[in-house]
Every structure is written in structure tokens, then in C-alpha cells.
Amino acid sequence: MVEQLPLADELAAMSARVSGLLPSVQTVRSALDLVTSLAVEVLPGTAGAGITLTDARGVRVTAAATGAVVEHADALQYELGEGPCLTAWEQHGTVRVDDVRKDRRWPRWSTAVAGTGLRSCLSSALVAGDVGLGAIKVYSHQVGSFGPRSEYLMHMFAAQAATLVMEVRAAERAQEISEDLRAVIRQRDVVALAKGVLMHRERVSEDEAFVMLVALARQQRVTVHEAAEGLARAMPRRRH
């Protein structure tokens, strides 16, 4: 039997592990994969872990899972509209199941998941501030794998994981915005260059050059930016 750390030390170690993930992840997907892998390590007796989020349409999906049995157990919850993960999410809390064959809170799901060989599970909502992101859950093939200690650890782990996911999501969105902004600036610069070429070549004003560029784009059946790129590429290169 593996000796357990005192709870305070275990929480400190867990917090350090989760916080240490941030510099190593670049996308929300990689963050979720790392968090589920770490959940298996943090909670002894775990056969698999997963994270449920919603997609852009509000549909519940398993965004990360350590194995097919987790995906199947989650899919049963989505299909039947009941289960510990969904309840944890809806209540922004932690839900423990000691034996799925005896727990009658979600009778259809409990009956269905018992056929997978899973016997107990623990689910906790992922909440950052007042934003509910989804839920994280762990499953076990053993009855009663998770007790009050595990429940508390899971609650604290979920809070850390939610913060991590929020930070990575914000960084990912900032990167997307930055890339979009750079693309807009590049397009603006190319259009400005093309107008300059027309102003010099045709001896026209900036407004007249832009009208000519728009006319060229219509003639070529391309966008103004694509027409500008064509003009820029056609410019003679300076010899060094």
C-alpha cells in the first residue's frame, strides 16, 4: 500500500504540479490532456479521467479523456441526459459514486455504465471565478475507490485545473487576435504600397489611386488586397 502524504503536503504538491504545467502548454487541448493525465496520478485507484466542456453550440462533449472507457461512460451521460458528471456541472459542486450498481440517483446511467466494468467515480465542476467551464471526472474499476479525502482533493484539483484552462484559453485567444491583427496590418500595408505604385505611375492622387485599384480588382475578379498583392509583386526589384 502506497503511503499517503499529509493532506496539506499533498495539496501543496498538487498545486505546484498544476501551476508548473502553464509554461509547457500552448493550447487548450494540450492543457486538457495534461490535466486528465495528472488527475490519474493525483487520485490513487483511478482507471481513467476525462474533462467535459461545451462546444460553440452549447453541446456537451468530452474534450479530453485518458481512454476509451472514459469516453464511453461520458457518452452514456450525454445520451441519457443524466449522470454524476452532469450533476456536478449543474450544481457547480463535487459528486461521488461509491458503487454504480447500488446508486439510484441516475438509474439509467448507473445500469448502463455497470456493464463497462466501472464501479465508482468522482466528478467535480470546473469553475473559474463565476464562469462554469465544465467538469472533470475520474473512474475506477473498484467499489469505493474514492472517499472523503479524494473528494476534497478532487474539489481542490478542479479549482486549480479550471484556472489553468482559463489562462491557457485567454492566451490562445490573445494569440489568435494578435495573428488576425498582424494579418490586417499586412493587408493595409500592401494596399498602401499598391496605391503608391499607381500614384507614381499614373500621376494621380491617393483617392484616385484607390479607385483605380478597386476597378482593377473588379476587372480581375479578385479582392482589393489580392489586386494590391499583384501590383506589389510586379514591382521591379532594386539591385543591391
Q: Convert the pLDDT of each residue in 161-196 to its tens digit.
A: 888 888 777 776 666 665 656 666 677 778 888 888
Q: Are residues 32 and 92 in the same domain?
A: yes
141 and 215 belong to one structural domain = no
* Shared domain check, 230 and 116: no
Same-domain pairing of 158 and 201: no
Q: Look up the CATH number of the domain holding residue 59.
A: 3.30.450.40
Q: Which of 173, 190, 215 is the last residue of a domain?
A: 173
Q: Are both 181 and 168 inside the same structural domain? A: no
Listed residues 156, 173, 190: the one ending a domain: 173
2 within a domain of the structure (yes/no) = no
Domain assignment present for residue 56? The answer is yes
Is the residue at 240 inside a domain? no
**166 and 155, same structural domain?**
yes
Q: For position 217, which CATH number holds? A: 1.10.10.10
Identify the burial level of 17 via C-beta atoms within 10 angstroms of its C-beta, where 0-12 means exposed, 13-18 middle and 19 or more buried: middle
Closest CA to 83 of 56, 54, 55, 60: 60
Question: Tell me, what's the pLDDT at 202?
Answer: 84
| Total domains in the fold of the chain | 2
Q: Which residues contact 196 (CB under 8 A, 6 or more apart)?
A: 209
pLDDT tens-digit readout, 86-131:
999 999 999 999 999 999 999 999 999 999 999 999 999 999 887 7
Residues 79 and 134 occupy one common structural domain:
yes
Asked if residue 94 is part of any domain, the answer here is: yes
Give domain status of residue 69, yes or no: yes
My answer on whether 82 and 149 are in the same domain is yes
DSSP string, the chain: -PPPPPHHHHHHHHHHHHHHHGGG--SHHHHHHHHHHHHHHHSTT-SEEEEEEE-TTS-EEEEEESSHHHHHHHHHHHHHT-SHHHHHHHHTSEEEES-TTT--SSHHHHHHHHTTT--EEEEEEEEETTEEEEEEEEEESSTT---HHHHHHHHHHHHHHHHHHHHHHHHHHHHHHHHHHHHHHHHHHHHHHHHHHHHHHHT--HHHHHHHHHHHHHHHTS-HHHHHHHHHHHSPPPP-
Same domain, 159 and 195: no
Could you tell me if residue 24 is inside a domain?
yes
pTM equals 0.65
The domain in which residue 207 lies consists of 176-234
pLDDT 10s digits, 184-234: 667 777 888 888 888 888 888 888 888 888 888 888 888 887 888 888 777
Same-domain pairing of 115 and 167: yes
In Å, how far are 177, 190, 213 from 233, measured between CA atoms? 27, 10, 14
Last residue of a domain, one of 173, 196, 211: 173
Compute CA distances 177 → 28, 172, 180, 181, 184, whole Å.
16, 9, 5, 6, 10
- pLDDT digits 0-9 by tens, 36-55: 988 888 888 899 999 998 76
Are residues 182 and 229 both part of a single domain?
A: yes
